[in-house]
Structure 1
Amino acid sequence: MMQLLIIPGKAIGKVNLGMDKSETETLIENSPIFYNIEYDDYEKVSFIEVANGAKDFYQCLIPDLNLEVFETKASDIVEMLTKNNVYDEDEESLAGLSYRFSDLGIAFWRPYNLKEEDTLEQWFKEMTPENQHEEMKNFYFESISVFNPE
């Protein structure tokens, strides 16, 4: 499987921060994955985000950390990154949903913070195996983004 390299504060795959809008659109035109890209006033890439669907096509890696983003539990990613970095505290980070590391230029998001102990709760046990499997996807981040470090 091909790799999609995620470089905090710089790039996701071939899309780099600071690229021209026209160059970027040409580059991703036939991409099998969806990129959420934002541009600054000069039509240069200022934000790049990909969702976990990218793992169907690529091994999504942060090479400096040897971290496979969508195959590593969110709690493990946060623990790893907070050893040497600080995330921006806000309501979403306190809820375990979103972590923005402004000094690195990287952020992670998931819609729901499922905890290991939740799987022992009655509401979880009453779910069908298929629904439990779907719910357990919330152990992982759903998207990753890069931006210029602050």
Structure 2
Amino acid sequence: MEDIIVEPGIRVGPIKLGMTREEVKAHEQEWPLKYVTFLIQYEENKVSFIEVPIDTHNISGGFSCFVYGIDVVHTKATQLAEKIDKISNYTRDEGAKWGDRYAFPEIGLGFWRDGVLNEEDLETEEFKNLDPIIQEDSLRNQYFSTVFVMYPMV
């Protein structure tokens, strides 16, 4: 299966910022749109925000997603944020403080995860005492759940 290429401030896969609804609709049957549900926001009938879910549980039948050549699907959230932070600083706000959201407004890129699980969390008694099925499910919180692009804020 093809890769989804993310170009910060420009596009996710075939969907580009600034496209009209009609142009987006023309891509609906193309990969990756038929496999992945994009969240697209419009301003004045033009794409202003694109978000794509990264489902690490569906990797086998899914896709790979790359930004700056970095594999977003298989890179842990903290490592990914550190790598992108070397290119452009992320906003150190409340979301970033808790580790669930990282926005890189100067390049028009961001990531989000619904739960946070870091390496040190794996060593806590609380995590070790969880049912193995819950532990397994929680491991996905080491990775981002979505990647999004928007217009850069210069």
Structure-2-length-normalised TM-score: 0.89
Q: Give % identity.
A: 32
Counterparts of 2:87 and 2:24, CA distance in 1:
32
Superposed CA RMSD in Å reads 1.5
Give the 3-state SS of the residue equivalent to 2:80 in structure 1: helix
Counterparts of 1:46 and 1:15, CA distance in 2:
11
The 10-residue stretch of structure 1 (21-30 or 86-95) with the greater mean CA deviation from structure 2? 21-30
Q: Which stretches in structure 1 are left out of the alignment for 5+ residues?
A: none
Structure-2 change in CA distance of 1:84 and 1:6 (3 Å) = closer
Contact kept? 1:109, 1:143, Cα under 8 Å: yes
Q: 1:52 aligns with which of 30, 51, 54?
A: 54
Structure-2 change in CA distance of 1:5 and 1:38 (3 Å) = same
Structure-2 change in CA distance of 1:33 and 1:84 (3 Å) = closer
Counterparts of 2:130 and 2:22, CA distance in 1:
47
The residue type equivalent to 1:59 in the other structure is S
The structure richer in helix per residue is 1
Counterparts of 2:91 and 2:28, CA distance in 1:
30
Residue 147 of structure 1 aligns with which residue?
A: 150
- 1:15: Cα distance to partner? 0.4
Counterparts of 2:93 and 2:24, CA distance in 1:
31
The residue type equivalent to 1:60 in the other structure is C
- Listed one character per residue, the Cα deviations across residues 10-38 of structure 1 (whole Å, up to 9, x for unaligned) are 00110011101122123125611100000
- Listed one character per residue, the Cα deviations across residues 59-80 of structure 1 (whole Å, up to 9, x for unaligned) are 1111xx2211111001111111
The residue type equivalent to 1:51 in the other structure is P
- Listed one character per residue, the Cα deviations across residues 126-145 of structure 1 (whole Å, up to 9, x for unaligned) are 12222111101111000000
Q: How many residues align?
A: 147
Contact kept? 1:2, 1:57, Cα under 8 Å: no
Q: Which stretches in structure 2 are left out of the alignment for 5+ residues?
A: none
- 1:89: Cα distance to partner? 2.1
